[in-house]
Chain A
Amino acid sequence: MVKFILRRIMMMIPQLFVLSVLIFLLAKAMPGDALTGQLANNPKMDAQTLAEMREKLGLNDPLYVQYTRWIKNLLHGDLGLSYVHQQPVTDLLAGRMWNTILLSLCILVLTYAIAVPLGVISGRWQDSWADKLIVGYSYVSFATPLFIFALIMLFLFGFKLGWFPTGGSVDIQLEEGTFDYYISKLNHLLLPSLSGALISTVGIIQYLRSEIIDTKVKDFVRTARAKGVPEAKIYSRHILRNSFLPIAAFLGYEITGLIGGSVFLESIFSYPGIGQLFLQSIMQRDYSVVTALVMISGLATLIGTLLSDIILSVVDPRIRIE
């Protein structure tokens, strides 16, 4: 098992290398650089100084030299300097990263907390009115884009009803470490994570529902019935355990989706996380931040798939890895 995980981590190295080359080339291929923006904003800057600055920053070096420099710094934990914010990218990310992780975890927990019971009810009492209601909900949420749904939630519960704060990650007047501080943090998290969760339940509900419907007619369920196992135990010991397999595997891949979702959610709820920063940085052509964030989300995706494999090998004896 440990060997398998180590091997998988080793395999991630070439994957990350390819990813880094791609990101680097794509960033270079984008028109202009961070200094182009500076020229437009700053009338005192002339072409002469600009050329000197380019030379100084190494932007005229051959691509491979630039790439090795970038990757070397990256390995040392130096993600470069944000031109827009005039501070190291690592400093810029530190606080926001935690906010995003917190938000993602909240969404993940809420998604499963909502989707699993609904999926089980739907699959077990197939074609009942409850099932029809749940399937209806999941279709509506599937058809609703996240950014529209989040806006409606913000408008309704944030502005109209005023139940939740409409922006930020915490009340700025509160002192860090106090009880009120954490309550305020949670309060700021609830609306964005609920918006994200209500939209992302559809996959899990549908998966679980159809898994349960498939599993409950399997031969081994009939064997359990022939043993005289009571109906409730048939579900808990036989049907549900088998139906949860793909859902468990889903968990790792969910991380990838969360990163994409955070871009919308954080922007709409003005939540200071990396998703919001990502969108701002693209618009301001703050490339060192963009490449760093794409690299991080790539890493998160790889870790997510690794997590899926590990979870699956733990819950399913048929794919136990030696």
Chain B
Amino acid sequence: MKRSVLQIESLRVSFRIQDEYYAAVDDVSLTVHENEVLAIVGESGCGKSALALSIIGLHPPERTKLEGTVVFKGKNLLTQSVQALNQIRGKDIGMVFQDPLTALNPLMTVGKQIEESMDYHTTLSTAEKRNRTLELLEQVGISNPSQTYDRYPHELSGGMRQRIVIAIAIACNPALLIADEPTTALDVTIQAQIISLLKNLQQQLNTGILLITHDLGVVAEMADRVAVMYGGEIVELADVHTLFTRPLHPYTRSLLQSIPSLQTPKETLHVIQGIVPPLTKLPRTGCRFRSRISWIHESKHEPHPILREVEPNHWVRCTCYQHFYFPDGGEKA
């Protein structure tokens, strides 16, 4: 059994919208192990980014309510002061963001931006910090580190910028890396490079990675285990092989059905009906996915769906999966 790095227990993240709190993440429990990539998948608005940001307290505190526990190195991160969190952020937990252009300060050289976390977490001298930064630049696959050190973000390409963002995240050898849609803003070819970079780094550094993505291709490439989120809840949790070969929850099956395939050229792409309801309109009782599979009879859903272990290490929410079928007939193999 691997050691766990991060344990999320009944986490609920609520945002205030016009004097009323609405949960974007609802009763989520997850564990990230050492040297493991745990992917969280779901459509936009399903709560995956809200989950990621809440771990290191990056939501604006004045309109966010956090409940449950997030245990990292024996401490509940949700009850830590900002000062205490600052000791952990950037040092033990690194974060990779979605859009590498906006995630970097336009007025600071990239070298200085990578060094910054060392300013607060290490006692290295200026020269040592510079050396470490050059080392990091090389590690993330930048070919001429000493020149790049003095560059500004706008002088670099999107792929290079994302490498810088990754270098910032791993600057202090974190035990956990949170990657929030690390490839979404990049070209497809660059995406592949960034994924292989993250995979290599994970093997070198032995970090656990919490990977937030909506891209099932990225999941297949990188993840060890996958949690599928819908409406703020985890609807299915399994290792990556099981999830792709024996998906059970209707939402997981619909997502997989929506991927274009090269084998069967003439098929029309499956589209999941409707949209993720906005936070204020999300049903809070019963199966949250039921409105989008309206052809499945109400009686097939559980009144209070819970996450059940249907086979070893394969968890599914609600009983509707036993009766689910696609209205247009067959499912891809």
Measuring CB to CB, which residues of chain A are less than 8 angstroms from any residue of chain B? 218-220, 222-231, 237-238, 241-242, 315-318
Among A223, A230, A237, A315, contact of B97 (Cβ-Cβ < 8 Å): A223
Q: Which residues of A contact B104 (CB under 8 A)?
A: 220, 223
Among A225, A228, A238, contact of B105 (Cβ-Cβ < 8 Å): A238
Q: Which of B83-91, B212-220, B232-240, B272-280 contacts A (4 or more CB under 8 A)?
A: B83-91
A219-B103, A220-B102 are contacts. A226–B89 as well, Cβ < 8 Å? yes
Kindly report which residue of chain B lies nearest to residue A320, judged by CB atoms: B152
Contact between B107 and A241, CB atoms less than 8 A apart: yes
Q: Which residues of A contact B88 (CB under 8 A)?
A: 228
Contact between B154 and A317, CB atoms less than 8 A apart: yes
Please report which residues of chain B, range 108-136, place their CB below 8 angstroms from some CB of chain A when the two chains form the complex.
Answer: 108, 113, 116-117, 120-121
A238-B105, A242-B105 are contacts. A228–B89 as well, Cβ < 8 Å? yes
Q: Which residues of B contact A218 (CB under 8 A)?
A: 102
In whole Å, how far is A82's beta carbon from the nearest beta carbon of chain B?
50
Among B99, B105, B107, B120, contact of A230 (Cβ-Cβ < 8 Å): B120
- Does B223 count as interface, using CB distance less than 8 angstroms? no
Contact between B152 and A223, CB atoms less than 8 A apart: no
Contact between A318 and B154, CB atoms less than 8 A apart: yes
Contact between B97 and A227, CB atoms less than 8 A apart: no
Contact between B106 and A317, CB atoms less than 8 A apart: yes
In whole Å, how far is A233's beta carbon from the nearest beta carbon of chain B?
8
Q: Mark B216-250, 1 if CB is under 8 A from A, else 0.
A: 00000000000000000000000000000000000
A219-B97, A318-B152 are contacts. A228–B121 as well, Cβ < 8 Å? yes
- Does B58 count as interface, using CB distance less than 8 angstroms? yes
- Does B165 count as interface, using CB distance less than 8 angstroms? yes
Contact between A226 and B90, CB atoms less than 8 A apart: yes
Contact between A231 and B82, CB atoms less than 8 A apart: yes
Contact between A228 and B87, CB atoms less than 8 A apart: yes
Contact between A317 and B103, CB atoms less than 8 A apart: no
In whole Å, how far is A116's beta carbon from the nearest beta carbon of chain B?
18
CA distance A223 to B101 in the complex (A): 11
In whole Å, how far is B101's beta carbon from the nearest beta carbon of chain A?
9
CA distance A293 to B106 in the complex (A): 42
B interface, size bucket = 20 to 34
Q: Which residues of A contact B38 (CB under 8 A)?
A: none
Among A226, A230, A237, A242, contact of B58 (Cβ-Cβ < 8 Å): A226
Q: Mark B130-163, 1 if CB is under 8 A from A, else 0.
A: 0000000000000000000000101000000000
Q: Which residues of B contact A225 (CB under 8 A)?
A: 58, 89
Return 27 A-B CB contacts under 8 Å, by A number: A219-B102, A220-B103, A220-B104, A222-B58, A222-B97, A222-B103, A223-B103, A223-B113, A223-B165, A223-B168, A226-B89, A226-B94, A226-B95, A226-B97, A227-B89, A227-B116, A228-B85, A228-B89, A229-B86, A229-B90, A237-B108, A237-B116, A242-B106, A315-B107, A316-B106, A316-B107, A318-B152
Q: Mark B243-278, 1 if CB is under 8 A from A, else 0.
A: 000000000000000000000000000000000000
- Does B50 count as interface, using CB distance less than 8 angstroms? no
- Does B56 count as interface, using CB distance less than 8 angstroms? yes
In whole Å, how far is A297's beta carbon from the nearest beta carbon of chain B?
34
Q: Which residues of B contact A231 (CB under 8 A)?
A: 82
6 additional contacts, CB 8 Å, given A226-B169, A228-B85, A318-B152? A219-B103, A220-B105, A223-B103, A226-B89, A241-B107, A317-B107
Among B90, B99, B102, B106, contact of A228 (Cβ-Cβ < 8 Å): B90
Q: Which residues of A contact B58 (CB under 8 A)?
A: 222, 225-226
A222-B58, A317-B152, A317-B154 are contacts. A227–B90 as well, Cβ < 8 Å? yes
Q: Mark B19-41, 1 if CB is under 8 A from A, else 0.
A: 00000000000000000000000
Kindly report which residue of chain A lies nearest to residue B155, judged by CB atoms: A317
Kindly report which residue of chain B lies nearest to residue A225, judged by CB atoms: B58
Q: Which residues of B contact A316 (CB under 8 A)?
A: 106-107
A219-B99, A229-B116, A230-B120 are contacts. A224–B86 as well, Cβ < 8 Å? no
Kindly report which residue of chain B lies nearest to residue A230, judged by CB atoms: B86
CA distance A318 to B154 in the complex (A): 7
Q: Mark B155-183, 1 if CB is under 8 A from A, else 0.
A: 00000000001001100000000000000
CA distance A262 to B169 in the complex (A): 54
CA distance A230 to B108 in the complex (A): 17
CA distance A223 to B180 in the complex (A): 12
Q: Which residues of B contact A222 (CB under 8 A)?
A: 58, 97, 103
In whole Å, how far is A311's beta carbon from the nearest beta carbon of chain B?
14
Kindly report which residue of chain A lies nearest to residue B95, judged by CB atoms: A226
CA distance A94 to B286 in the complex (A): 85
In whole Å, how far is B136's beta carbon from the nearest beta carbon of chain A?
13
Q: Which residues of A contact B105 (CB under 8 A)?
A: 220, 223-224, 238, 242
In whole Å, how far is B160's beta carbon from the nearest beta carbon of chain A?
16
Kindly report which residue of chain B lies nearest to residue A319, judged by CB atoms: B154
CA distance A237 to B108 in the complex (A): 9
Q: Mark B32-63, 1 if CB is under 8 A from A, else 0.
A: 00000000000000000000000010100000
In whole Å, how far is A200's beta carbon from the nearest beta carbon of chain B?
27
Q: Which residues of B contact A230 (CB under 8 A)?
A: 83, 86, 120
In whole Å, how far is A110's beta carbon from the nearest beta carbon of chain B?
27
In whole Å, how far is A247's beta carbon from the nearest beta carbon of chain B?
14
Q: Which residues of B contact A241 (CB under 8 A)?
A: 107
In whole Å, how far is A242's beta carbon from the nearest beta carbon of chain B?
6
Contact between B103 and A228, CB atoms less than 8 A apart: no
